[in-house]
């Protein structure tokens, strides 16, 4: 059906390429490119069919454009870091090729993630006749699609959305992050934010906590209110929503480590001078922490990510909880990565299929909830992430 250039050979890139390589009738040709080409070659050597590999510095749009001209993909699938979103979108514009990513752009010098920088490309993508699909991971990604599915099939009107992201896995390290440490720590140490009655309400980091009882044997876990990017696009798509919040679980040990690291300045993202040269403490910390890609063989337990939606159907109040549960060990057995990389990489591959097959199309820059959720969710379940829906009582005290 088409050719895909995947950029980024980290934990998520590994899953994307393995899943795409397993479906040759959709992904005819694949190229995996990254800053460190040996990582691409290591992944490629372990695949059931040959793919191309390349070295690229995706901070440089000219290098990405040159690689696109050489490989001639139908789609560039960006699973490098959020810093590379804009240069890769620039290269897609220059060469007239579709674009997909899993995380929205962040400037390096400010821990702030917003869609405004990428949405600003909409007119240029439309004029060029190409498409960008933003945030096709799990959250953002599947969470947006869960809400679109709720709106399409179960509600006339949505009142509240609560997104719960639980990683109940155990990797055995005193402290490690499940995806890129720099991006993860920037996200969780930022102020919280939620949508209420037409405006954003800011909270201090980890200020609001709720103990949520997760399904399928996971049980009660402390979840903390964070800002998360899908709330921005969902708020635009469904302006009638009265309240929208995002919650992520953290263990007491993770939070204690994080607090100490923050207190001693190790999570700072501004450069400090050390022995005559500038270093960014958070990047130095990343060099010391376990590589998320190495967590796969030692992680046990499950993840559970889902949306708790409340609203009205046929004039009656209704609550709806839709979620996926994913087992770290099973993911590792299948693709050699833990469930956080798996739950991001599979939806990225599914999003790529939606574009290549023409099931989702249109020139411009889009988020997932702007498209029909049905073909995406059908493929998601088929490719390894089945989902469950329940109808709990409407009453809610949290
Ligand atoms: P990793 O750090 O494991 O991998 C990132 C990869 O990108 C590395 O191989 C790195 O190269 C490469 N890279 C970094 N900078 C450049 C550059 N300038 N040019 C080319 N390649 C570069 O991260 P993950 O795989 O864990 O995460 C990938 C993406 O997925 C991130 O953007 C993350 O935010 C997103 N994500 C999204 C989620 C969702 O649900 N939506 C959940 C989890 C992650 P090198 O090996 O040389 O360092």
Confidence of residue 112 (pLDDT cuts 50, 70, 90): confident
Note the pLDDT of residue 397. Answer: 78
Would you state the structure tokens that stand for residue 190, as one six-digit string? 């930022």
Q: Say how far apart CA 314 and CA 73 lie, in whole Å.
A: 46
16-20, 97-101, 385-389, 392-396: lowest mean pLDDT where?
A: 392-396
Note the pLDDT of residue 283. Answer: 95
User: Measuring from atom 29 of ligand 1, which residue has the nearest CA?
Assistant: 79
Note the pLDDT of residue 36. Answer: 98
Mean pLDDT of 388-392: 97
Q: How far is the CA of 320 from the centre of ligand 1 (A)?
A: 33
Q: Say how far apart CA 384 and CA 387 lie, in whole Å.
A: 10
Percent of the chain whose predicted confidence (pLDDT) is above 90: 93
Which amino acids bring their CB within 6 angstroms of ligand 1?
Answer: 7-13, 34-36, 39, 56-59, 79-82, 84, 102-103, 137-141, 179-180, 183, 292-293, 340-341, 344
Contact assessment for residue 125 and residue 93, using Cβ atoms and an 8 Å cutoff: yes
User: Measuring from atom 13 of ligand 1, which residue has the nearest CA?
Assistant: 80
Q: Say how far apart CA 88 and CA 106 lie, in whole Å.
A: 13
Q: Say how far apart CA 319 and CA 155 lie, in whole Å.
A: 9
Mean pLDDT of 82-97: 98
Contact assessment for residue 224 and residue 238, using Cβ atoms and an 8 Å cutoff: no
Residue 178 has pLDDT above 90, yes or no: no
**Structure confidence by residue, pLDDT tens digits, 266-276:** 999 999 999 99
> Of 7, 9, 10, 294, which is best to mutate to test ligand 1, by the most ligand atoms within 8 angstroms of its C-beta?
10
Residue 179 has pLDDT above 90, yes or no: no
Note the pLDDT of residue 45. Answer: 98
Mean pLDDT of 52-78: 98
**Structure confidence by residue, pLDDT tens digits, 216-239:** 999 999 999 999 999 999 999 999
Flag whether the pTM goes above 0.75: yes
Whether residue 140 has a cis bond before it, omega within 30° of 0: yes
What is the homologous superfamily of the domain 2-134 according to CATH? NAD(P)-binding Rossmann-like Domain (3.40.50.720)
Residue 109 has pLDDT above 90, yes or no: no
Q: Which CATH number is correct for 142-337, 2.40.50.100, 2.60.40.1080, 3.30.360.10, 3.30.450.20?
A: 3.30.360.10
Query: CB atoms < 10 A from the CB of 35, how many?
Result: 18
Residue 113 has pLDDT above 90, yes or no: no
Would you state the structure tokens that stand for residue 213, as one six-digit string? 């009882």
Note the pLDDT of residue 20. Answer: 98
Q: How far is the CA of 12 from the centre of ligand 1 (A)?
A: 7
Note the pLDDT of residue 398. Answer: 80
* Strands 52-55 vs 388-390: parallel, antiparallel or unpaired: unpaired
- Atom index in ligand 1 nearest the CA of residue 291 equals 3
- Atom index in ligand 1 nearest the CA of residue 60 equals 18
> Of 5, 12, 339, which is best to mutate to test ligand 1, by the most ligand atoms within 8 angstroms of its C-beta?
12
What mean pLDDT value characterizes the chain? 96
- DSSP character string of 43-69: HHHTSSS--EEEE--TT-HHHHHHHHH
Note the pLDDT of residue 228. Answer: 95
**Structure confidence by residue, pLDDT tens digits, 343-367:** 999 999 999 999 999 999 999 999 9
- Atom index in ligand 1 nearest the CA of residue 84 equals 18
Cα 194 to chain centroid distance, Å, stands at 19
> Of 38, 40, 81, which is best to mutate to test ligand 1, by the most ligand atoms within 8 angstroms of its C-beta?
81
> What is the 8-class DSSP label of residue 18?
H
Confidence of residue 111 (pLDDT cuts 50, 70, 90): confident
Residue among 271, 330, 307 at smallest CA distance from 388: 307
**Structure confidence by residue, pLDDT tens digits, 137-171:** 999 999 999 999 999 999 999 999 999 999 999 99
Cα 363 to chain centroid distance, Å, stands at 22
**Structure confidence by residue, pLDDT tens digits, 180-229:** 898 899 989 999 999 999 899 999 999 999 999 999 999 999 999 999 99
Q: How far is the CA of 162 from the centre of ligand 1 (A)?
A: 27
Query: CB atoms < 10 A from the CB of 198, how many?
Result: 10
Within 8 A by CB and 6+ apart from 338, the residues are: 11, 169, 171, 178, 292, 295, 296, 299, 328, 331, 332
Cα–Cα distances (Å) from 13 to 19, 45, 228, 332, in that order, read 10, 14, 22, 14
Note the pLDDT of residue 110. Answer: 82
**Structure confidence by residue, pLDDT tens digits, 287-330:** 999 998 889 999 999 999 999 999 999 999 999 999 999 999 99
Confidence of residue 135 (pLDDT cuts 50, 70, 90): very high
Percent of the chain whose predicted confidence (pLDDT) is above 70: 100
- Atom index in ligand 1 nearest the CA of residue 102 equals 41
Q: How far is the CA of 104 from the centre of ligand 1 (A)?
A: 12
Note the pLDDT of residue 292. Answer: 87
Residue among 27, 132, 9 at smallest CA distance from 350: 27
Residue 370 has pLDDT above 90, yes or no: yes
Extents of the domains making up the chain: 2-134, 142-337
Confidence of residue 396 (pLDDT cuts 50, 70, 90): confident
């Amino acid at each position: 059906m088409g050719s895909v250039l995947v950029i980024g050979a980290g934990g998520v890139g590994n899953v994307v390429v393995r899943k795409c390589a397993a479906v040759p009738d959709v992904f005819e040709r694949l190229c995996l490119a990254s800053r460190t080409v040996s990582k691409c070659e290591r992944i490629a050597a372990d695949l059931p069919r040959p793919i191309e590999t390349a070295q690229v510095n995706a901070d440089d749009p000219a290098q990405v454009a040159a690689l696109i001209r050489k490989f001639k993909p139908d789609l560039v699938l960006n699973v490098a870091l959020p810093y590379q979103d804009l240069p890769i979108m620039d290269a897609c514009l220059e060469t007239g090729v579709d674009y997909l990513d899993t995380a929205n752009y962040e400037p390096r010098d400010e821990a702030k993630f917003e869609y405004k920088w990428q949405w600003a490309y909409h007119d240029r993508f439309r004029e060029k006749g190409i498409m960008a699909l933003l945030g096709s991971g799990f959250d953002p990604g599947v969470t947006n699609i869960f809400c679109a599915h709720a709106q399409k099939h179960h509600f006339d009107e949505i009142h509240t959305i609560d997104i719960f992201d639980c990683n109940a896995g155990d990797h055995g390290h005193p402290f490690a992050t499940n995806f890129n440490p720099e991006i993860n720590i920037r996200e969780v140490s930022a102020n919280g934010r939620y949508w209420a009655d037409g405006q954003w309400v800011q909270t201090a980091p980890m200020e609001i906590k709720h103990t949520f009882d997760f399904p399928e044997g996971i049980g009660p876990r402390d979840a903390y209110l964070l800002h998360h990017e899908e709330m921005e696009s969902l708020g635009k798509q469904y302006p009638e929503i009265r309240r929208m919040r995002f919650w992520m679980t953290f263990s007491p040990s993770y939070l204690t480590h994080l607090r100490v690291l923050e207190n001693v300045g190790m999570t700072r993202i501004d450069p400090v001078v050390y022995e005559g040269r500038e270093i960014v403490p958070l990047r130095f910390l990343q060099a010391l922490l376990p590589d998320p890609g190495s967590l796969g063989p030692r992680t046990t337990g499950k993840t559970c990510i889902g949306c708790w939606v409340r609203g009205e159907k046929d004039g009656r109040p209704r609550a709806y909880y839709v979620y996926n549960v994913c087992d770290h060990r099973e993911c590792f057995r299948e693709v050699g990565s833990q469930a956080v990389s798996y739950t991001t990489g599979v939806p990225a591959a599914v999003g790529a299929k939606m574009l290549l097959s023409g099931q989702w199309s249109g020139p411009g820059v889009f988020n997932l909830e702007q498209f029909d959720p049905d073909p995406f969710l059908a493929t998601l379940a088929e490719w390894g992430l089945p989902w469950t829906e329940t109808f709990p009582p409407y009453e809610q005290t949290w």
